[in-house]
Every structure is written in C-alpha cells, then in structure tokens.
Structure 1
Amino acid sequence: MPRRRSFEPEEALRSIMEAFWAGGYEGTSIQDLEAAAGLKKQSLYRLFGDKRGMYLAALGLYEREQFALAEAELGGEGTVRERFERLLDGVIARATEQGDRRGCLICNASVDQAALDAATGREVTAMLARLEAMFERSLAGAALFRGGPAGRRRAARKLLAGYVGLRVLVKTGLPEALLQDAKEALLEGL
C-alpha cells in the first residue's frame, strides 16, 4: 500500500513561489526551498523534477493567482479608465499600504532568468502575451480607439508596458507620489 502524503503539494508550491519571489532564482538555494516548503529535497525533486521545475511551477502558480486578481480588478462596473485605474491602484496599494515591494514575479523572471534559460524565456513571453490579451479584451467595446482592432492592440501594449513598468517601480521602493504620477500618465487618453 503506497504511503499517503502528509503535505499538500499546492501549499508547498505556494511556499516555493514565495521563496523565489523574495530571492529570485539565483538567490534561492535548494536549502531555502526545503525550509520554505518544509520538505526534504528528495520530496521536492519527486514533485517538481529539479530546481528549474520548481521555478517554472512557481511562475505558473503566480500567473494563475495574479491574473485572477487582475481580471477581478478589471471586471465589474465602470468605464475603461475606471477599471484600469482600479488595477493600477491595487498595485500601488499593495506596495504602499501593505508593504509588498517584491514587484512582479513574472517581471523579475524576465530580468533574472529569461535570457539565461530558454524554458523560462518561453514561459515569461507567453505569460506577458496572455496579460496583453487580457488587457485587449478589457478594452473591447470602448469607443475610443482609432484604427479598430489595431488601435486597441496598441493601447493594450501601452498598458502592458506601463503596468510592467509600474511593477518594477514598486520594487525599487519609489515613493507613492511618483507611483501615482506614473499611474495618471498611463491612464491619460483612456
């Protein structure tokens, strides 16, 4: 009879994600991951294959959680501007009110590992494309874009670049006033 697991893989993965988010790929050792997950490396390797597998799984969990949050902030009532303002206000509030200055794990991975590891590069590129598509869907129905779908795509890409940039600015610890100014500049024209 096989032994039953005495841990939840999803909880272990969440702890692994938090460790990578805090320390990056290179700055997080296997010992750090063992301590975070409360598991020995043999169990971690059995679940995820290797450290790279843990990192990619952590990125996947991050995407699921953060994209669900973004979809909730972009959903609901309000104009296009109000919905994107809600999204950007959430980023700023998590940094300034809740003290979460880790930035975005996908952004961190794009700087930290995407150029060094093809699998991470592919994942980050795909995640950013999905975020762009989410933004483009959120802009659908807005009567403000010249050039139809191409104009909406350009607006989504502008918002993507600004959103990623805001997440990077958050990580640097810049003051809230600067973050608010960046947000307002990004929302101009919506």
Structure 2
Amino acid sequence: MARPRKFETDEARANVLQAFWRSGYESTSLSDLEAATGMGRRSLYNAFGDKHAMFLHALADFRRSVVEGNMRPLKEPGAGVAEIRAVLDGLAAVGATPLGKLGCLICNTARETIASNSEVAREVALYFQQIETAMQGALDNAQQCGELSAEADTASLAHFFLGCVVSMSVLAKAGVQPVVLANIRDEAMKALR
C-alpha cells in the first residue's frame, strides 16, 4: 500500500531541514537535497519550489520546532524561574549530544551570506524575538509571584537570557566540553537570585 502524499512530503521536508542544518545554505547543493530526500530535482521543485524556498521552509520549521518544543516550559501558565532553568538544562543536555554538535540552524544561518536576504533575515529576527518574548513572559511571571526582585529589569534580563540561549547553541556546535554549557546555565541562573 502506498504511503499518503502528505506523509512523503512531511518526511522529505524534514530531510531538507536536516540537510541544511548539517551543512548550511551555501554548502548544501541541490544534489545533496536530492540525496537527502530520495527525490529528483523536478519533484523537489514541484513539492517545495527552488532551493531558496526550501531553505525558508526549513528555517520556519526549525523555528517552530524550537519555540514550540524547547521553549515550551516558558509558555506554561505561571512559568517562572524553574521553567527558565528547565530550558537551560535542556540546552546544556542537548549540547553534549551529536544533535547539539549541529548547533542551531538559525544561529548558524545568521553567520552566512544568505542572512542578508530579507526573507531569511525576517525568519532569523522572528526566532530571536520569540525566544526573547518567551523569556520575558517567564521573567515577568517570576517577578509578579515574588521569585524575582521587584527592582529587576525583566526586559534586560530577557536580552541576557536570549544571549545565553544563542551562546550555548554556538558553543555546543564548537564542541566545547559539557561542563562549559553547565557553567553558563548555572551562572545565568545566579542572575535571578
């Protein structure tokens, strides 16, 4: 029995994301995308458009996955200090795995020439904004329930924690020892005392 087309398209789209995540936009050729998906060039174009369109889909899929997955604790009702810690714990744990060695597709993209493209720049900016907004929400909750000082500047802290998230991803890709990521997490949490 043949698989439904949606399943095949979803699987191919996930494989496109993986190919770009491993090698970046500029180093991923159409041949690489054909190999990753098992689809011919014409089928890829028909399903997803050109390489640029495929990349935009990959960025959007990655952004949704991270924001809805890794940042989920921050969006829980009443999220606060414990949920910020859970996010940083997750990043430190993933950073020590082969997946962590890929870094963050969007952080990696921000360093590529393609980042100057307006559509790509918009995806990158949206990703950072969503993480910062989720952090700010948890920090505001923490402040309202007394976990965080009333004098704390939650907007500045949200910027700081965004920086922690990005740096942990970049350092994981660079292959630092897991203790480095754990130390970043621990020092960042001290800012909330």
With structure 1 as the length reference, what TM-score do the two structures score? 0.87
Give, in angstroms, the shift of residue 39 of structure 1. Answer: 0.8
Give, in angstroms, the shift of residue 73 of structure 1. Answer: 3.5
Give, in angstroms, the shift of residue 56 of structure 1. Answer: 0.6
Aligned partners of 1:114, 1:123: CA distance in 2, in Å? 12
Deviations 1:46-67 (A, max 9, x none): 2222101000100111111111
Mark the CA change 1:183 to 1:7 in structure 2 (over 3 Å): closer, same or farther.
Answer: closer
Which runs of 5 or more residues in structure 2 are unaligned? none
Match of 1:88 in 2: 88
Match of 1:133 in 2: 133
Aligned partners of 2:55, 2:115: CA distance in 1, in Å? 15
What is the identity, as a one-letter code, of the residue corresponding to 2:180? L
Give, in angstroms, the shift of residue 42 of structure 1. Answer: 1.0
Give, in angstroms, the shift of residue 146 of structure 1. Answer: 4.5
Say which structure is richer in helix: 2
More relative contact order, 1 or 2 (CA 8 Å, 6+ apart): 2
Mark the CA change 1:145 to 1:124 in structure 2 (over 3 Å): closer, same or farther.
Answer: farther
Match of 1:175 in 2: 177
2:186 to 175, 181, 184: 184
What is the identity, as a one-letter code, of the residue corresponding to 1:177? V
Deviations 1:60-84 (A, max 9, x none): 1111111111233335599733211
**Secondary structure of 2:120's partner?**
helix
Aligned partners of 2:104, 2:73: CA distance in 1, in Å? 16
Aligned partners of 2:127, 2:41: CA distance in 1, in Å? 28
Q: Which moved more, 1:54-63 or 1:98-107?
A: 98-107
Match of 1:51 in 2: 51
Q: Which moved more, 1:65-74 or 1:161-170?
A: 65-74
Please tell me whether residue 62 in structure 1 is matched to residue 62 in structure 2. Answer: yes
Give, in angstroms, the shift of residue 179 of structure 1. Answer: 1.3
Match of 1:99 in 2: 98
Match of 1:20 in 2: 20
Give, in angstroms, the shift of residue 147 of structure 1. Answer: 5.6
Mark the CA change 1:136 to 1:109 in structure 2 (over 3 Å): closer, same or farther.
Answer: same
Q: Please provide the CA RMSD for this pair.
A: 2.3
Contact residue 16 and residue 58 of structure 1 kept, 8 A: yes
Match of 1:158 in 2: 160
**Secondary structure of 2:15's partner?**
helix
Taking only the aligned residue pairs, the percentage that are identical comes to: 33
Aligned partners of 1:79, 1:45: CA distance in 2, in Å? 42
Match of 2:112 in 1: 112
Which runs of 5 or more residues in structure 1 are unaligned? none
Mark the CA change 1:106 to 1:34 in structure 2 (over 3 Å): closer, same or farther.
Answer: same
Give, in angstroms, the shift of residue 119 of structure 1. Answer: 1.6
**Secondary structure of 2:22's partner?**
helix
Aligned partners of 1:129, 1:76: CA distance in 2, in Å? 18
Deviations 1:105-152 (A, max 9, x none): 11011112454322211211122112111111122222225567xx22
